Amino acid sequence: KLRPDPLYDPYNREEGMRIKKHPILEFNQKEKIKFTLDGKELEGYKGEPIASALVAAGIKVLSRSIKYHRPRGFFCAIGKCSACLMKVNGVPNIRTCVTKLEEGMKVETQKGKGDFN
């Protein structure tokens, strides 16, 4: 029996749901690092898109629509759709699908349009 390609099978639980081939970024999966999401410590690979690390950790909702607060998940992976906007290290409206993960990053979900405190 042929196994589906884990890069394109979103239901392949053995490989997790981590992006291994990104449409516009290059990164390797060698160095595991720690970061936080809303105060909870998570692990990812240095240089991978933040959204990839979140999806691999089982986080499905990255943001919510401004008007109706409907959940938004990982979608375009090239920074065009705004479904992945989050606050990173205190800066709102960061496109996490094209922002590379770094050690100790503080990632937070943001409400609505985000604030500029």
Q: What is the pLDDT of residues 1-56, one digit of tens each?
A: 555 444 444 444 434 566 666 666 666 667 899 999 999 999 999 998 999 899 88
Predicted confidence at residue 82, as pLDDT, reads: 84
With CA atoms as reference, report the closest residue to 84 among 75, 104, 40. 75
pTM of the model: 0.75
User: What is the average per-residue pLDDT within 101-113?
Assistant: 90
92: pLDDT strictly greater than 90: yes
Amino acid 6: pLDDT: 45
C-alpha radius of gyration, the chain, whole number: 14
The CATH class of 32-108 is alpha beta
